[in-house]
Structure 1
Amino acid sequence: MMDTPHTPGSTEIDLQIMWNRLITVVGEQAQVLIRTAFSPIVRECEDISAGVFDLEGRMLAQAVTGTPGHVNSMAESVRHFIRHFPLDTMREGDAYITNDPWMGTGHLNDFVVTTPAFHKGNLVALFSCTSHLMDIGGLGNGPEASDVFMEGLYLPMLRLLDQGQVNETLMAVIRANTRLPLDTEGDTYSIAACNDVGVRALSAMMDEFGITDLGPLADFIITRSRMAVEERIAVLPRGEWTNTMRTDGYDHPVLLAASLTIAPDHVLVDYVGTSPAVRHGINVPLAYTKAYTVFGLKCIIAPDVPNNAGSLAPFRVTAPAGTILNALRPAPVSARHVIGQMLPDVVFGCLYQPLPHRVPAEGTSCIWNITVRGTWHDAGNTNLAYALAITTNGGTGARPGLDGLSATAFPSGVHGTPVEIAEIQSPLIFWRKELRPGSGGDGTTRGGLGQIMEISNTEAAPFELLAAFDRIANPPRGRAGGRNGLAGHVSLSSGRVLPGKGLQVIPAGERLMVLTPGGAGLGDPAQRDPALSETDRTQGLLADRAQA
């Protein structure tokens, strides 16, 4: 009896190998974006996302590098691109772009580019990526605006490339609406270039495995991933749990309220009871709310399942329209991360009740971007503007059995901006950048430490700080007897305390003092291992908190 001929890609082993290869393809896509970007927040901090999608707009694989806010919101944006540019109109060499906060990744500073991928003349997939651009005009990347139109250049769904031809009119508009035309143009091209690399790598992979379409592979990925997450959910306790968190807001506190329901095959988070949208740009579009909520759920429930449309499907997120977590156009949203990145901690507060041994204490959560702007005044840089987001982080919350991480971005995952890069890109100098002793909350496991930074202008000139900080009035909260982390603090070296949000002018000769929050502790401090307490003491981590 003759063996049945083997069809390429027909066995589960074939499909698993191709799945792994697909993750490698998008990893290459992401690295091209990082290595060709002009903006330090991309090149040094990796504030991006990259992924490949099937022809239904389902995310099949994402690059390991990438922030949850970008990746999980971009996962929805590709369907918007397909709606505006139907598949039968797509041609080789096309690329489409938007920065619409409600169809992209939540604010205007993120450009999303989607590129159709052809193999032997047939459309087989779409590559999409997101990159943060430092300046797209308007009031800048701060929370001062009272509507989205004040926040900068707004790009609807447009063609960036038409069969390989650049939309020069669009590029001229982009260059004319930024304080950094060279960087902004270069970053736009780097986004398109990384998708092109993904297209070529995918075609080479399909040749290698002898397949002509991704349908069977897509169905395998989506089905297996969804089943894996549903299996994790099926063994969880059933029920409904609630949690609230108060954040600093812009000029008054904001309440985030969540109700979490674990059902046999899905988890629902509803943000009913959350504060309404506010006048300034800390509002959050629903796609960004979903992105960080789902990330928080997945961290606790199914951290080992690859991120794709299948693994995201069992998690459902709703928020009442008009609340700060479902802000409607044209609400200002530039600093949406300040609220949105709190959502994993809000979700953790719900999950802690049925799953206390899996959940960490609260951390700093929102990144403390020191966003600065000004003009070079030395002879070599006459009237040349600079704008820079110096990414800094506080401490993460203590974990079950492990201390929190110091000066680490969670949940965003971006890297801190190296001091050397900040000092090259601007006339600013860091006089001090060190861990903040005593800032981590005590507990059986201790919260991670924040940082202390001292910054001034090397030129005899002021500079602007576009402040968008939180956890100043409402520090990270401990769990199970653990103590709170220290609150953040912003001031001048003269002693004047600065507001945590809004445009601040740092006078010439003054130093900006930024103290990021520490993560909270978990469990009774009296139960901490004495050996760990001694290590804390000898390493100088337990300074007098009143002086920290």
Structure 2
Amino acid sequence: MQNQATLSPIKLQVVWTRLMSLVEEQAQTLLRTAFSSIVRECGDLSAGVFDTSGRMLAQAVTGTPGHINTMARAVFSFVDAIPVDTMSPGDIYVTNDPWKGTGHLNDYLVVTPAFRGDRVVALFACTGHMTDVGGIGLSPEGSDIFCEGVYIPIMKLADKGKFNETLMTIAKANSRVPTELEGDIYSLIASNETAERRLQELLDESSLDDLSEVAEHIISTSRAAMGERIAALPYGKATYRMTIDGFEAPVELVGTLKIDDAGVSFDWTGTSGMSKNGINVPLNYTTAMTAYALVCSIAPDLPNNEGGLSLFHVSAPNTSIVNAERPHPVACRHIIGLLLPDVVFGCVQQLLPSCPTPSEGASTQWTLTFRGGRTEDPYAISIVTNGGSGARPGLDGLSATSFPSNVRGTPTEIVESSTPLVFWKRELREGSGGAGQWRGGLGQDLEISSLDGRDFTLFAAFDRIDHPARGRSGGEAGRAGELSLSSGPTLPGKGALVIKAHERLIVKTPGGGGYGKPSERDVEASVMDRLIGYIA
């Protein structure tokens, strides 16, 4: 094998590029083989390669920032719990620990060591959202972590190639969709196995024994590049506040961005205290979404890995709703977690006015989690339906688009072919985007019912109903979200809601805020808005 101390800059870059390609194939394997529609159709997943100390070297483009940036921290927990020198070929590890994984029990994180001979040379990790892991499930009504589902600490999913049948039996026995859960777990395993095979091919072709020198090159180069971007920023401090619906009471999100000699830090002091319900956010998810917004603002073109992420410092009081500690309920941590970037962007605009930060958007996913069917043949499904994103300088907001997450909307055909649910209407919501020089993105207008003659339950986990997305720089707010029945009654945005068999559920997702004064909007753009039905 080649002496790795002599690797040329070109070869280092080629191997780095190959690693980024390799983890994309890893993610695509998961996408193609997953059983749950939220992974297979929507891409609610992540995949990446890590060095033997747990540092993320490359992440797949396919995936969500909440999964990717929590996974970047999670592998350190695996290495701490199971030292690399104790791992054996054929070992596979798993957890859904919200504080060591991705923030709630529905996400399974699988880590597989890659061996070269008898030595671990890399770790592959991937995450996928499981539709149902038992307990109360993906509902904000839980009172603690123990009622939200089956909790799996960091442990072996396979030991030297022998599969942990006991773990699988327990997990399946507690899921309402056991076959889907089992298939998703196997898809996570297959994802890492694909990446491991490709790594062996890469090492053979490159005549390398391991990735040690390549890893140091990736981390040091990325850290230096991010350091240069940070060094060019003006020093300062900015605070931004945003009120959101919350559950039992409105929640105040307060963030402070500071840029000084120590670098870039973001603190959530001033944010509301913890909720008694499952909308609390573990700090790992708070950190992931905060860092994502900072990277988007400061260095969106740099590769995302431990080198760059290590330069951002995120903190929050341990009494805060964005730093929930075990055993507080966190099942719907995405409701608040996905709204955090709006606060970060509000701070960034104050310190970096030339940065094209967007207005506030629908932000939180309006994921419709339904359960129904016969006792002996139940169904459970999570349907991604999104609102509008905020406008930004020079561009209108995106309609029916998930941001800052990037999961795709669930196709209607998939829902109707796998459940008795039917969509009577699914269209853009006219006039829901905030007016401005650049218009906010539109939400959606949906009508849903069931064809099996049975009641069904919606586990509502929505925000932006009482506090819509605000515009920026003179732009107007987007329309608030709405939830109601065809017979007229308005429904609350959070909680288990039984929809009677004869009713239709009406869902109107929020619009994004506008940017700039409406009077300054281009005349042709205003005419086009009316022609295509975006506004009346």
How would you bin the TM-score normalised by the shorter chain? over 0.9
Indicate conservation of the 8 Å contact 1:441/1:485, yes or no.
yes
Give the structure 2 partner of residue 147 of structure 1.
144
Match of 2:367 among 369, 375, 384: 369
Deviations for 1:422-477, whole angstroms, at most 9, x for unmatched residues?
11121000000000010000111110000000000012111000000000000000
Deviations for 1:243-286, whole angstroms, at most 9, x for unmatched residues?
01111001210111111001246210000011111100000000
Q: Secondary structure at the match of 1:137?
A: coil
Q: Secondary structure at the match of 2:351?
A: coil
Give the structure 1 partner of residue 263 of structure 2.
266
Give the structure 2 partner of residue 330 of structure 1.
327
Question: What is the Cα deviation at residue 180 of structure 1?
Answer: 0.7
Match of 1:317 among 311, 314, 334: 314
Match of 1:300 among 297, 300, 311: 297
Indicate conservation of the 8 Å contact 1:490/1:499, yes or no.
yes
Which runs of structure 2 are paired with 1:469-548 in the superposition (5 Å)? 469-543=462-536
Give the structure 2 partner of residue 13 of structure 1.
10
Indicate conservation of the 8 Å contact 2:345/2:358, yes or no.
yes
Q: Secondary structure at the match of 1:386?
A: strand
Which runs of structure 2 are paired with 1:323-402 in the superposition (5 Å)? 323-357=320-354, 358-376=356-374, 383-402=376-395
Give the structure 2 partner of residue 65 of structure 1.
62
Question: What is the Cα deviation at residue 200 of structure 1?
Answer: 1.1
Q: Secondary structure at the match of 1:269?
A: strand
Indicate conservation of the 8 Å contact 1:466/1:503, yes or no.
yes
CA RMSD of aligned residues (A): 1.2
| Distance across 2 between alignment mates of 1:240 and 1:318 | 15
Give the structure 1 partner of residue 96 of structure 2.
99
Give the structure 2 partner of residue 215 of structure 1.
212
| Distance across 2 between alignment mates of 1:474 and 1:494 | 25
Indicate conservation of the 8 Å contact 1:9/1:211, yes or no.
no
| Distance across 2 between alignment mates of 1:296 and 1:362 | 13
Question: What is the Cα deviation at residue 231 of structure 1?
Answer: 1.2
The reply on whether 1:134 has 2:131 as its aligned counterpart is yes
Match of 2:121 among 103, 119, 124: 124
Q: Secondary structure at the match of 1:353?
A: helix
| Distance across 2 between alignment mates of 1:528 and 1:264 | 41
Q: Secondary structure at the match of 1:370?
A: strand
Q: Secondary structure at the match of 2:57?
A: strand
Give the structure 2 partner of residue 251 of structure 1.
248
Match of 2:409 among 395, 405, 416: 416
Give the structure 2 partner of residue 433 of structure 1.
426
Going from structure 1 to structure 2, the CA distance change for 1:462 and 1:350 (only over 3 Å counts) comes to same
Question: What is the Cα deviation at residue 204 of structure 1?
Answer: 0.8
Match of 2:444 among 446, 451, 471: 451
Indicate conservation of the 8 Å contact 1:394/1:407, yes or no.
yes
Question: What is the Cα deviation at residue 7 of structure 1?
Answer: 6.1
Give the structure 2 partner of residue 379 of structure 1.
none
The reply on whether 1:442 has 2:435 as its aligned counterpart is yes
Moved over 4 A (4+): 5-9
What is the TM-score with the length of structure 1 in the denominator?
0.96
Which runs of structure 2 are paired with 1:12-91 in the superposition (5 Å)? 12-91=9-88
Deviations for 1:188-237, whole angstroms, at most 9, x for unmatched residues?
11111111111111111011111111111111111111111111112222
Indicate conservation of the 8 Å contact 1:38/1:187, yes or no.
yes
| Distance across 2 between alignment mates of 1:465 and 1:66 | 26
Q: Secondary structure at the match of 1:352?
A: helix
What is the TM-score with the length of structure 2 in the denominator?
0.98
| Distance across 2 between alignment mates of 1:533 and 1:172 | 58
Indicate conservation of the 8 Å contact 2:462/2:494, yes or no.
yes
Deviations for 1:337-387, whole angstroms, at most 9, x for unmatched residues?
0000011101001011122332110100011001100115xxxxx831100
| Distance across 1 between alignment mates of 2:238 and 2:142 | 36
Q: Secondary structure at the match of 2:230?
A: helix
Give the structure 2 partner of residue 546 of structure 1.
none
Structure 2: stretches of 5+ with no match in the other structure: none
Going from structure 1 to structure 2, the CA distance change for 1:368 and 1:111 (only over 3 Å counts) comes to same
Give the structure 2 partner of residue 241 of structure 1.
238
Indicate conservation of the 8 Å contact 1:46/1:414, yes or no.
yes
Going from structure 1 to structure 2, the CA distance change for 1:473 and 1:83 (only over 3 Å counts) comes to same
The reply on whether 1:198 has 2:190 as its aligned counterpart is no
Going from structure 1 to structure 2, the CA distance change for 1:175 and 1:7 (only over 3 Å counts) comes to closer
| Distance across 2 between alignment mates of 1:264 and 1:218 | 27
Give the structure 1 partner of residue 284 of structure 2.
287
Q: Secondary structure at the match of 2:350?
A: coil
| Distance across 2 between alignment mates of 1:488 and 1:30 | 33
Corresponding residue pairs, total: 534
Going from structure 1 to structure 2, the CA distance change for 1:177 and 1:7 (only over 3 Å counts) comes to closer
Q: Secondary structure at the match of 2:266?
A: strand
Indicate conservation of the 8 Å contact 2:5/2:213, yes or no.
no
Deviations for 1:39-84, whole angstroms, at most 9, x for unmatched residues?
0001000100000000111000000001111010011111111111
Indicate conservation of the 8 Å contact 1:49/1:63, yes or no.
yes
| Distance across 2 between alignment mates of 1:476 and 1:293 | 18
Indicate conservation of the 8 Å contact 2:422/2:448, yes or no.
yes
| Distance across 2 between alignment mates of 1:304 and 1:213 | 28
| Distance across 1 between alignment mates of 2:382 and 2:498 | 16
Q: Percent identity?
A: 56
Indicate conservation of the 8 Å contact 1:69/1:292, yes or no.
yes
Indicate conservation of the 8 Å contact 1:233/1:264, yes or no.
no
| Distance across 2 between alignment mates of 1:106 and 1:125 | 24
| Distance across 1 between alignment mates of 2:394 and 2:152 | 47
Corresponding letter in the other structure for 1:388: I
Indicate conservation of the 8 Å contact 1:146/1:332, yes or no.
yes
Match of 1:162 among 159, 163, 174: 159
Indicate conservation of the 8 Å contact 1:106/1:333, yes or no.
yes
Question: What is the Cα deviation at residue 9 of structure 1?
Answer: 6.5
| Distance across 2 between alignment mates of 1:6 and 1:422 | 54
